[in-house]
Structure 1
Amino acid sequence: MENHSSQSPSYNQNNNSVPPFLQPQPFPIYESEENDWSFSQLLSVVRRRALVIAGVTITLTTVVFVSLILNREPPVYEGNFRLLVEPVNDDTKVVDIVKDPNVGKSGLDYESQIQVLKSPELMGKIVKQLQAKYPDITYDTLIKNITISRFAETKIIEVRYRSQDPNQIEFVLNLISKNYQNYSEEKRQTQLRQGIQFVERQLPFIQNRVDQIQKELQTFRQKYDFVDPGAQSEQVVNQTTSLSEQRQLIDGKIAQVRANLSFLQEKNGKLAVLNDAILYQQLLNQVRQLEVQIATESTRLQDNNPTIETLKEKRASLLPLLKNEEERFLGTKIAEVTTQLQTLEVQSQELAKVEEKIELQRKQWPILARQYTELQRKLQVTTESLNRFLSTRENLQIQISQAELGWQLLEAPSKPKLPISDSSIKRYLIPGLIASIALGIGVALLLEKLDNTYHSVEVLKGKVKLPLLGNIPFEKQVESIQDHIPTRKLSITRILNPILKGVPGLAHQVHSNYSAKFLEALRVLYTNVQFLSSERPIASIIISSAMPGDGKSTIAFHLAQVATGMGQRVLLVDADLRQPKIHTLSGLNNLWGLSNLISANLPTSEVIRQLPSMNQLSVITSGPVPSDPTKLLSSEKMKQLMIDFHNAFDLVIYDSPAILGLADTSLLAPYTDGILLVVKIDKTDSSMIQQTLDHLKFSRMNALGMVSNGQKSNINNY
């Protein structure tokens, strides 16, 4: 079945010319996934995870339904009656007598009254009467099933009772309503009268307490003249300020008088004061005149002349008088100043005493004010307490007059006909179903969040900015063949019949069960690859992927057949020396191949073979798996072989291993026009794609574009 190199194109092994290759293009940027989901994306997730959502919903709904069936309880009935416990209109004149602002409001403490109605003392008698017909009723069960409440903001008390027996409900409510009406006529008036008696006993004590505190307050005011604390406090402050100003003025005068006294005791001061002494000045003038006369006469007379002696005797008689007058006048002035100083000092001392007294009073003022405030507070508290007791007595008297009317039964108990909860299934099944659906959607969203694969070509194009050269749809025939690849051989005639119908001489050679979408996608891929370079056609490419199992070998095999059907001389090389698949896809044996061609001195024609039904397509299988594939692919022999392949064929397609973790593709890429990266929808991990692109960028390998594989959604066709 195998055809060897006799049908292959002419092959010159001695051609050592290095063909030109495409230069690496600027590498695209990988965009990280965003967390914002649109409504359309949410619907896409729901459609994609419909089985998960349906499974979770059905499972949880079944669990809820079974649980409700197993725990279903008998239907519960409820009955009620209503009592008017206060008059609707206050028509009695008793209310008009008591001028209380609270009379218009409800006089009944409903919360306390409800607790009394539910108390063991009142309910005990009712329980004993009920046990005569229903022995299983106890106080605890009765309180558990009964509800007593005020009906909205009205003067009505509503009593509800629940049970599984409608007859029991009617009997219990009738008995309770009768007992409550009897209670309102008997016990309630008794309790109100007891309250009035208690108030009457307390009123004299409280009144005496008010009188005693009033007397204490009166005595305090009389003792300390404590009439108006605010005005008196202000008066004390004003007095203190006035006394302080007076004392400062007197202290200034004392300082001035002391300065005058010191001035009088000095020579200049004495002379200044003596200028105002009339008698002293007259005597001084006489003495000075005598001295002038003596000096005048001394110029012409002798010192022993009687005239001069007479003048000297007069002067001598006047000097003692002048001295005495000086001492007398100065003594008088000093005595006046001293007396003035003493007077001012006495005034200052008196003001200081008054200030000290007022200061002592001011210091005692907070204590007195606190005592006064405490007495007023006690008086206010006792007065308020007295007023409350008086108001309580009046209210109790009003309630007694109202209680004489008794409670009125507005709505009598009746036998309930319909249950309030006949089935727990209707109540909980729909919420359980909604919760199950919500949980199913939540599980689907969680799985979607944990899923790092691409689910559509649109998402792939949006996230990876690499040219999308082809979109290969999901094909059941390919999937079936891949599942049975070890035991089946692929017939080329089942693939290319639609493609080659228009090629003369070839249409009769092929038959295909593949869909037109699948084959047309391969043709579009081949055309896009040829259009990548405007200067010259692509002559050699590597088809690889980020992860194993993305379908790179299948894409390479089918692309080679399409290119051959287009009239190209195509060589398909299985460069995956680790997990080769081309020989199984093509139905050829793998006894010898590329590994033999590199390691041994075999001629190239020995390993190039043609497909049984398409001898225009040349194939080199991988050959036996070597122990060190990297060593073979990096050898000079492999580089020369790739150059020879390029020169001998129109298109050389290399099927290489996955890029991540292996150096095989990196060794082959520099000697080709570039790499086609296969990405499988719903399988390839986005993080692996990012790592692959980072590796290609770091290695400066030329990435021609990418091919999406396995798109299951409908692709528009012409």
Structure 2
Amino acid sequence: MENSSSKSSSSKHSNNYVSPFPQNQPVPWVEEQEDNWNFQEFLSILRRRSLLLVSVAIAVMPLIMIYLVVNRKPPEFEGSFQLLVEPVNDDTKVVDIVKDSNSQNSSLDYESQIQVLKSPELMISTLKELQASYPEINYYSLLQSLKIIRLGETKIIEVRYQSSNFKQTQVVLERLAENFLDYSQVRRQTKLRQGVKFIEKQLPSIQNRVDQIQKELQVFRQKYNFSNPEAQGTQVASQTVDFYEKKQTIDLQLAQARANIAILQGKNGATTTLNSAPLYQQLITQIRQLDVQIATESTRLQEENPTIQILKEKRASLLPLLSQESERLLGVKFAEVATQLQTLEVQSQELAKIERNLAQQRNQLPVLTRQYTDLQRKLQIATESLNRFLLTRENLQIEISQTELGWQLLQAPTTPEVPISSFNSQRSFIVALLASIFSGIGIVLLVEKLDNTYNTVDDLKKKLKQPLLGNIPFEKQVQSKKNHTFNQKISLANIDNPFSLRIPGLAVLPDQEYGDSSTYFSEALRVLHTNIKLLSSDHPIRSIVISSAMPGDGKSTIALHLAQIATTMGQRVLLVDADFRKPTIHDLSNLNNLFGLSNLISTNLSVGEVIRELPSMSQLSVITAGPIPPDPTKLLSSQKMKQLMADLHNNFDLVIYDVPPLLGLADTSLIVPHTDGLLIVARIHKTNSSMLKVALDNLKISRLNILGIVCNGQKM
């Protein structure tokens, strides 16, 4: 992880040292719980906990074998017989003629038939016969050992019975075969005939119902001249159209006749009528001619002249004829118009009656339509019911004719003398072996699920999702801390490897050996030191804090050996034991702890009086913790401590602080802000993952700079 900010050169000489890393940087990782295992992880878990798996399997297998032996069942004998329950020839086609085209070829409901064969009513006679010889048999025990199935899509029913008594199996099958055959010949036909009898009893009432509805429909049609709703509606609509056409014509003629009467009654009307009469016009013409003759003769003759008198007499004789003709013509014309008007009025009255009749028909049409529809629906329901009863009667009669032959026994009841099941020691051993292995796997997975520690480096990386700076291996040669001390008189020149004496709890990358002069352990520390140096290319890391989430994770041991490795790399290194809770550095380095960091902060001692140098490494300096103070946080948060850390940072190439565990203590949070960052040590099979997660969450809140994780205790 590269640092995101730089440190100015002037800060190195300031009294209050400020870390070059931003203190508000959040923790870029949190632990993620992943419970899903793939196959490779599953095999890794089994391999890692193989001892537990084998132990559980060895412990469980004898118990399973004992259980199988104790609970083994006696030998079981199974017999069977087969029944042909439907004919296999083409007689079934007779049934198909009266059946729905969507029905299946088989006329028997096999599922229902099998349930009937298992019913207590059908089994009671068989049970009475069997209980005479086998009183322990009851309906439920018989049904439990009995199996009745249909063979595929065939018309064959197979009956199987199983018991530990060979003779009992054979007897039960024989009684069942007799009972089923008797049922097919007697009881089954009896039920069919009862069905036919019931249908014939119901048919007369259904037929009477159909006849009654038909009569009602016929009376309805005759009474209302009603054929069907569609035709009746069309007829009424057609009559209405014709009526309105006739009514319009009559109304027009009636208006014309009334106008003619009014014209005749007027003066102009009479004149018009007389002008069109030939006889009247002829008389008018004669009178006018006489008037012309009289006028002509008067010019030359006297008034008393007989010629003029004769002409006047002729004219006087024509006038009464003209008057009579006028009266006659007007009377005839008026009589004709009056007669026409009367006739039209009579027709208009008839049309009014027709209109009322049509209106009545239109009003009655919905009611009549509903009554007609109800009658039709009742007739349809009654007819369908009648047809269904007739069809059912025909089907039952045909089925009766087919079942008169009864069922056929294709395979007589047989029971093999060889039992179908017996205790098999080899099979029981295999079952016990598999069950014990699966039990072991189950226990292993349960333990793995309940295990709250990190089991492998991959597990640590996957759950924390963070950079892993080092992987320190565990070696069996490492001695316990109680039996180990550093020999300060041994010089570095007298040993090939300064780490030949091992420290407990250390561990390493089991990748490869790096030569005779190196070990996995030392190479892992070199890798850790190199990774720390590579974290920042612009500004070298010169002060780090090493801590862990829990005690016992090996933080102090790694701090000491990391300091020694850095020293062998040519750096001037200072190891500071800042653990005022349970200091360890002085024990690991075999130094006294009379004076240390606590004295340096609380008294006026100089740094030179407190710093120790290991005889084996002149470049490695150590400041032990000193006497444990009553209030460690007060000393660590003091201004003198901050000034001291700044001075140490400037005077050494690398300062390593060993601090108390993170969880529940504020010591680390007081020191880390004045260094280049924090290293967290997590130990395989030791560090509690939930506690480490809580510690990381607290660091995230404090916004401390975390350099990375060091894995400790990975077994080779």
Deviations 1:408-461 (A, max 9, x none): 45244234312335469579757745763664465356436xx4x554444555
Q: 1:410 matched to which residue of 2?
A: 411
Specify the code of the residue in structure 2 equivalent to 1:668. I
Q: In 2 relative to 1, CA 203–671 (structure 1 residues): closer, same or farther, beyond 3 Å?
A: closer
Shift, 1:347, TM fit? 0.3
1:711 maps to 2:704: no
Deviations 1:552-592 (A, max 9, x none): 21111112222334454432211112222212222333233
Decide whether the 8 Å contact of 1:83 with 1:157 is kept in 2: yes
Q: 2:314 matched to which residue of 1?
A: none
Range with bigger deviation, 681-690 or 642-651: 681-690
Q: Secondary structure at the match of 1:578?
A: coil
Decide whether the 8 Å contact of 2:575 with 2:657 is kept in 1: yes
Unmatched segments (≥5 aa) in structure 2: 1-11, 285-325, 508-518
Range with bigger deviation, 429-438 or 537-546: 429-438
1:512 maps to 2:501: yes
Q: 1:159 matched to which residue of 2?
A: 159
Q: Secondary structure at the match of 2:411?
A: strand
Q: 1:292 matched to which residue of 2?
A: none
Tell me how far apart the structure 1 counterparts of residues 209 and 534 of structure 2 sit (CA, whole Å): 113
Q: 2:28 matched to which residue of 1?
A: 29
Tell me how far apart the structure 1 counterparts of residues 14 and 640 of structure 2 sit (CA, whole Å): 14
Q: Secondary structure at the match of 1:352?
A: helix
1:665 maps to 2:668: yes
Decide whether the 8 Å contact of 1:541 with 1:673 is kept in 2: yes
Tell me how far apart the structure 1 counterparts of residues 700 and 395 of structure 2 sit (CA, whole Å): 94
Tell me how far apart the structure 1 counterparts of residues 465 and 128 of structure 2 sit (CA, whole Å): 86
Q: Secondary structure at the match of 1:543?
A: strand
1:473 maps to 2:467: no
Q: 2:486 matched to which residue of 1?
A: 491
Tell me how far apart the structure 1 counterparts of residues 269 and 340 of structure 2 sit (CA, whole Å): 15
Q: In 2 relative to 1, CA 522–366 (structure 1 residues): closer, same or farther, beyond 3 Å?
A: same
Aligned length: 638
Decide whether the 8 Å contact of 2:83 with 2:409 is kept in 1: yes
Tell me how far apart the structure 1 counterparts of residues 193 and 379 of structure 2 sit (CA, whole Å): 30
1:232 maps to 2:228: yes
Q: Could you tell me which of 238, 242, 261 is aligned with 1:242?
A: 238
Tell me how far apart the structure 1 counterparts of residues 135 and 662 of structure 2 sit (CA, whole Å): 85
Q: In 2 relative to 1, CA 642–382 (structure 1 residues): closer, same or farther, beyond 3 Å?
A: closer
Tell me how far apart the structure 1 counterparts of residues 165 and 600 of structure 2 sit (CA, whole Å): 96
What is the correspondence of 1:438-449 to structure 2 with a 5 Å cutoff? 439-440=442-443, 443=446, 446-447=449-450
Q: Secondary structure at the match of 1:235?
A: helix
Tell me how far apart the structure 1 counterparts of residues 267 and 560 of structure 2 sit (CA, whole Å): 141
Tell me how far apart the structure 1 counterparts of residues 449 and 643 of structure 2 sit (CA, whole Å): 52
Q: 1:393 matched to which residue of 2?
A: 397
Shift, 1:683, TM fit? 4.4
TM-score (norm 2): 0.71
Q: 2:655 matched to which residue of 1?
A: 652
Deviations 1:129-150 (A, max 9, x none): 5455444445554444333444
Deviations 1:112-161 (A, max 9, x none): 76567656676555555545544444555444433344444434343322
Percent identity, please: 39
Deviations 1:11-58 (A, max 9, x none): xxxx98759876216766226637465443444444445566666766
Shift, 1:331, TM fit? 11
Range with bigger deviation, 50-59 or 653-662: 50-59
Shift, 1:162, TM fit? 1.5
What is the correspondence of 1:553-702 to structure 2 with a 5 Å cutoff? 553-611=556-614, 614=617, 617-659=620-662, 661-684=664-687, 701-702=704-705
1:363 maps to 2:363: no
Tell me how far apart the structure 2 counterparts of residues 124 and 463 of structure 1 sit (CA, whole Å): 69
Decide whether the 8 Å contact of 2:18 with 2:674 is kept in 1: yes
Q: Secondary structure at the match of 2:591?
A: coil
Q: In 2 relative to 1, CA 105–233 (structure 1 residues): closer, same or farther, beyond 3 Å?
A: same
Q: In 2 relative to 1, CA 96–666 (structure 1 residues): closer, same or farther, beyond 3 Å?
A: closer
Range with bigger deviation, 134-143 or 650-659: 134-143
Decide whether the 8 Å contact of 1:84 with 1:407 is kept in 2: yes
Q: Secondary structure at the match of 2:414?
A: coil
Q: Secondary structure at the match of 1:602?
A: coil
Q: Secondary structure at the match of 1:29?
A: coil
Q: Secondary structure at the match of 1:553?
A: helix
Specify the code of the residue in structure 1 equivalent to 2:385. V
Q: Secondary structure at the match of 1:639?
A: helix
Tell me how far apart the structure 2 counterparts of residues 333 and 41 of structure 1 sit (CA, whole Å): 122
Shift, 1:363, TM fit? 1.7
Q: Secondary structure at the match of 1:572?
A: strand
Decide whether the 8 Å contact of 1:669 with 1:701 is kept in 2: yes
Range with bigger deviation, 37-46 or 160-169: 37-46
Q: In 2 relative to 1, CA 171–677 (structure 1 residues): closer, same or farther, beyond 3 Å?
A: closer
Specify the code of the residue in structure 2 equivalent to 1:657. P
Decide whether the 8 Å contact of 1:275 with 1:281 is kept in 2: no
Root-mean-square deviation over aligned CA pairs: 5.2
Q: In 2 relative to 1, CA 114–60 (structure 1 residues): closer, same or farther, beyond 3 Å?
A: same
Specify the code of the residue in structure 2 equivalent to 1:596. N
Tell me how far apart the structure 2 counterparts of residues 265 and 125 of structure 1 sit (CA, whole Å): 110
Tell me how far apart the structure 2 counterparts of residues 188 and 465 of structure 1 sit (CA, whole Å): 77
Q: Secondary structure at the match of 1:160?
A: strand
Q: Could you tell me which of 366, 388, 391 is aligned with 1:384?
A: 388
Deviations 1:445-498 (A, max 9, x none): 6436xx4x55444455566676543221224455x53xxx4x55532579x99x
Q: 1:9 matched to which residue of 2?
A: none
Decide whether the 8 Å contact of 2:468 with 2:709 is kept in 1: yes
Shift, 1:375, TM fit? 3.2
Tell me how far apart the structure 1 counterparts of residues 110 and 498 of structure 2 sit (CA, whole Å): 101
Shift, 1:647, TM fit? 4.8
Tell me how far apart the structure 1 counterparts of residues 14 and 344 of structure 2 sit (CA, whole Å): 139
Q: Secondary structure at the match of 2:228?
A: helix
Q: Secondary structure at the match of 1:676?
A: strand
Shift, 1:277, TM fit? 3.9
Unmatched segments (≥5 aa) in structure 1: 1-14, 287-321
Q: Secondary structure at the match of 1:416?
A: coil
